Structure 1
């Protein structure tokens, strides 16, 4: 049987390497019953075999040898940083975090400068009388001998008059106890004019009487109480121990400038 080496399809380097391996080894005689094809050395073919080395009946397929390249030695230098991209949309608001620990207390600040009198926005007084009073003339001022409240001394105890510290709306109230069988006739006076009247007819029973009013006052206006004497005896009752007569007032709203 004629043996043809399959070196025609190989490059010269592979042919030079395979040539001594094929022809340097003596061939054994083919024993009876053995197939010549089964005894062929690898890399040999018969002259009747197909020329296509990739054919399924080809006894030997030469593997393709590819060169190995180590890419780690070919890595270049690090490039420059690229431009900043467009910011993305804001995400959903997260849950509120826990309250942090309480901080240390700060130093006490310095006191501010005193305000001017025009910045006063309050005024109040409440006074009382423990002794009874009979009118001995046509108009008799009602004086008081006890102070409950008198902010900044706006009520003058010597004259029985409240002097408005600034213009605005004020509220006043008067309470008295009538005397048995005597008339009770009292005025709440704005400057020199009676604003409201408290009156009780003579009766065998003494009773508590009250009167209240709101007045628009200018700065320096006065509000006070007086007894008014007519044909009958006029009096207010007290026992010298308890307070039966009270006069009170306070600023509701200062006038806007």
Structure 2
């Protein structure tokens, strides 16, 4: 920029010089010969600064600038003084139940408690009977033996007219039979029957007066029937009297 200005200024100066030279030449041609143009002089020093001008009128407010970028985080300040204690807040919502902890040690035995009142005895179902022949049955038929004398019949489950025990309380029962034969060479074999099926037998065939006995435990339901009877007509020669040598007994061991 300055070089251009300098060249312009130089050319202008030359032009002015030429113009003055031509004028002088024209004036001088009438009386003298024209001289050679002189070399341009150097630029002068800058002038002294002028006085400061008056303040201009206040310009209009400019448009709002764009939002600048966030500054860097400042250094952490020093800890302030402890504030006053605030009021208690409201109770929060109960938290979830935590996991079960390990089992603790077994504690020491507690002191003996006060003895309680005597309880009522539970009602127990009962069924039991014992029957005998107090007279000589002789050669008994192959059928239920109807003992002529009842010693015990708790619950009335033994039927003296049929010679059969009829179960009224389901459960486990114990039955026992004892049979005595007449004197001499004869046999006696007595069976304990359940619903027409033989369960166990008692048998003797020795000389003289001899007896045989057996026992069985049966699981009965309501309506089951139990009785005794001889094996056959060759093993039915019984002997009994007021001493009750032939007997049949049964009782409920426990209800089902």
TM-score w.r.t. length of structure 2: 0.49
Larger Rg: 2
TM-score w.r.t. length of structure 1: 0.49
